[in-house]
A and B are shown apart, each in its own frame.
Chain A
């Protein structure tokens, strides 16, 4: 059963499917009810499932995550929407000190099936705090699973997989790609589609592996297309915690080169982690050092400069060139 959906609509359809599948699934967040969220990702759910399952919360992120933790203890599966990446930070304490550690702290007696949905990343011309890429903070926190989607098919299935997971899942939604549209096989079975922890070869190639996730996957694919001199393999990482290293290292062993591109800042970013691990595992296969293309170590700039700040097609190609310069 194929349906043409945008990423935003695919997440919406996935949320609906999860709510129909399990009455314990509920939505929480600012404006998720009548408005359907500022990006309309929860559109229609309030109308069809009611105020008890689609909860317009007070304007308090710490409160949202903290009460979701309590709800989870009571057997619910809250899907929390944080309106924008930059507004996750007021909930950092609840996320890092409580949500992430509850299972371990309770010796496995408490499960935390909480999904935190966060529209993230730049490129929409927004004012400050609306374009952050905070994935490394989550990735660095043991106890959290961190995933992000790059196409409608993954959006539809991964949100459902995230909701079924008994672990807390940070579900990062590439907001500048919400309106990208492709075919989704909604008739498949959740047990057969690619699991949310797995990386995916988005485009096969032989000369260099180009790694990206979320909003950068599209840019990476464009770069691979644009580079007519080399055969570039694009890997969509999909899960940032845990990272599917076998898929990545197999690719790098075949191509001999790795370029990692992301919107998060360079220092201590996901690329640093991947580069270190790949260097350890593929040292004798590498023809060049692992190259990172990332945002600069500065605060996200005013929107009139974001085209320079975000790694674009040219910056990614420049990274690829650097890999081939060795």
Chain B
């Protein structure tokens, strides 16, 4: 069951070829300046650096886990930069590039993977919900939020749009399919952005779907399209169009960004057990960063000094990420009881008091742990 229809590569919307040639797409014209393309290049390089630093930090025992975005930078930066300030994003757990676009500091992400917090940023402040680990749940949250946007009358020219991120594996979940249906019957202003990176841990796309994922949208009654997920410009153009559609009252869209997870699923995973190295080499040739660089170079839109300055900035970002991670304090034990309920709660109050007593019984007890 290797090459099923799910793998077909038709109508892959592309604006920038792997060789770095800019093409035009009749449906997705992109009005963009050289400066903006350079800015996208910067984003891509910097989030890749955050990612590689985090992988190293995990290996050094500073993080419990890291979920790498390697290879998916264009899908995330392209879609993330298409968002307006008031828009709301509902990520999964790999969306470090989108988080970057929403102004979430890398240290917030690290703190979650270090186990110092459960992801403590303010979703409303950033228009970026917390990472969701239970696969598919956030597609429904996004849809419900979009239904709220509708009821607030925030649909129209300057309306609010909502975007939900998930992987190809997530399209198997009931929640995701229920979200498609709720969004459709309510004509909710939500964009479903599936990063099809071809693998759900060890399971290839064929174990999730027999049809290309974007085609599922038709069955729910809204448009779906497949974009080259390694092409930051195409991802930007297509997501912008879909978000505008949503914000102006034209309902949901499913975008399938066809991309590839170049690293392991997480730092706990060993992809050599289930996939060929040849596949990786093939995708390396489609690297999302390389093609932007090729374009900028071939068209004389950036010189060596520009690339060097971005490298330098990346080094600084890397340093910051490392020191912020290493210097992150552990939470206080009694933090366990914080923010469980909004209202006073006797169970929590009693257990907190008992535990505080218990902890204080160790004070001055020396190295033996209190006994």
A20 contacts B by Cβ under 8 Å: no
Residues in B whose Cβ lies below 8 Å from that of A56: 202-203, 207
List residues 292-317 of chain A with CB under 8 A from any CB of chain B.
Answer: 296-299, 301-306, 308-309, 313-315, 317
Name the CB-closest residue of B to A267: B347
B340 with A299: CB separation less than 8 A: yes
A81 contacts B by Cβ under 8 Å: no
Residues in A whose Cβ lies below 8 Å from that of B114: 304
CB within 8 Å for A90 and B201 given contacts A299-B340, A304-B330: no
B348 contacts A by Cβ under 8 Å: yes
A183 contacts B by Cβ under 8 Å: no
CB within 8 Å for A58 and B208 given contacts A34-B273, A127-B64, A127-B113: yes
A125 with B115: CB separation less than 8 A: yes
B173 with A38: CB separation less than 8 A: no
B117 with A30: CB separation less than 8 A: no
Stretch at the interface among B25-33, B249-257, B294-302, B331-339: B331-339
List residues 252-299 of chain B with CB under 8 A from any CB of chain A.
Answer: 268-269, 273-274
A128 with B118: CB separation less than 8 A: yes
**Taking chain A's interface residues, is the majority helix, strand, or loop, or is none over half, making it mixed?**
loop
B358 contacts A by Cβ under 8 Å: yes
B336 with A59: CB separation less than 8 A: no
Most buried by B among A57, A62, A89, A296: A296
CA A215 – CA B330 in complex, angstroms?
25
List residues 319-347 of chain B with CB under 8 A from any CB of chain A.
Answer: 330-331, 333, 335-337, 340, 347
A305 with B335: CB separation less than 8 A: yes
A31 with B203: CB separation less than 8 A: yes
Residues in B whose Cβ lies below 8 Å from that of A275: none
A242 contacts B by Cβ under 8 Å: no
CB within 8 Å for A89 and B340 given contacts A35-B202, A226-B371, A302-B116: no
How near does chain A come to B352, taking the closest CB pair, in angstroms?
8
List residues 122-153 of chain A with CB under 8 A from any CB of chain B.
Answer: 125-130
B154 contacts A by Cβ under 8 Å: no
B170 contacts A by Cβ under 8 Å: yes
CA A60 – CA B135 in complex, angstroms?
9
A303 with B201: CB separation less than 8 A: no
Most buried by B among A267, A302, A308, A315: A302
A256 contacts B by Cβ under 8 Å: no
CA A267 – CA B350 in complex, angstroms?
12
Residues in B whose Cβ lies below 8 Å from that of A201: none
B135 with A59: CB separation less than 8 A: yes
CA A35 – CA B273 in complex, angstroms?
6
A86 contacts B by Cβ under 8 Å: yes
B133 with A128: CB separation less than 8 A: yes
Residues in B whose Cβ lies below 8 Å from that of A315: 358
Q: Choose among B117, B268, B273 the residue that contacts A302 (Cβ–Cβ < 8 A).
A: B117
Residues in B whose Cβ lies below 8 Å from that of A303: 64, 115
How near does chain B come to A22, taking the closest CB pair, in angstroms?
26
A127 with B112: CB separation less than 8 A: yes
B371 with A302: CB separation less than 8 A: no
CA A126 – CA B58 in complex, angstroms?
12
A302 with B134: CB separation less than 8 A: no
Interface string of B113-144 (1 = CB under 8 A from A): 11111100000000000000111100000000
A296 with B336: CB separation less than 8 A: yes
B233 contacts A by Cβ under 8 Å: no
B315 contacts A by Cβ under 8 Å: no
B274 with A38: CB separation less than 8 A: no
CA A305 – CA B116 in complex, angstroms?
8
A129 with B133: CB separation less than 8 A: yes
B355 contacts A by Cβ under 8 Å: yes
A302 with B207: CB separation less than 8 A: no
Name the CB-closest residue of B to A35: B202
A195 contacts B by Cβ under 8 Å: no
CB within 8 Å for A30 and B65 given contacts A127-B133, A267-B347: no
Name the CB-closest residue of B to A130: B133
List residues 4-61 of chain A with CB under 8 A from any CB of chain B.
Answer: 30-31, 33-36, 38, 56-60
CA A226 – CA B330 in complex, angstroms?
29
B337 with A59: CB separation less than 8 A: no
A125 with B64: CB separation less than 8 A: yes
B169 with A305: CB separation less than 8 A: no
B23 contacts A by Cβ under 8 Å: no
How near does chain B come to A55, taking the closest CB pair, in angstroms?
9
Interface string of B84-96 (1 = CB under 8 A from A): 0000000001000
How near does chain B come to A259, taking the closest CB pair, in angstroms?
15
How near does chain B come to A223, taking the closest CB pair, in angstroms?
10
A309 with B336: CB separation less than 8 A: yes
B347 with A35: CB separation less than 8 A: no
Residues in A whose Cβ lies below 8 Å from that of B112: 127, 302
Q: Choose among B65, B135, B136 the residue that contacts A126 (Cβ–Cβ < 8 A).
A: B65
CB within 8 Å for A31 and B201 given contacts A127-B64, A298-B348, A317-B371: yes
B274 with A35: CB separation less than 8 A: yes
B115 with A90: CB separation less than 8 A: no
B103 contacts A by Cβ under 8 Å: no
Residues in A whose Cβ lies below 8 Å from that of B173: 59-60, 90
A63 contacts B by Cβ under 8 Å: yes
A314 with B335: CB separation less than 8 A: no
CB within 8 Å for A297 and B133 given contacts A30-B203, A305-B336: no
13 more contacts with CB within 8 A, not counting A296-B355, A314-B370, are A34-B274, A35-B201, A56-B207, A60-B173, A86-B134, A90-B175, A125-B65, A126-B65, A301-B118, A301-B335, A302-B115, A308-B336, A314-B369
- 29 A-B pairs with C-beta separation under 8 A: A30-B201, A34-B274, A35-B273, A56-B203, A56-B207, A57-B207, A59-B200, A59-B203, A60-B172, A60-B174, A87-B134, A90-B174, A126-B64, A127-B65, A127-B133, A128-B133, A129-B133, A266-B351, A267-B347, A301-B331, A302-B112, A302-B116, A303-B115, A305-B115, A305-B330, A305-B333, A305-B336, A308-B355, A313-B369
6 closest cross-chain pairs (CB), A and B: A303-B115, A35-B202, A58-B172, A59-B169, A125-B64, A308-B333
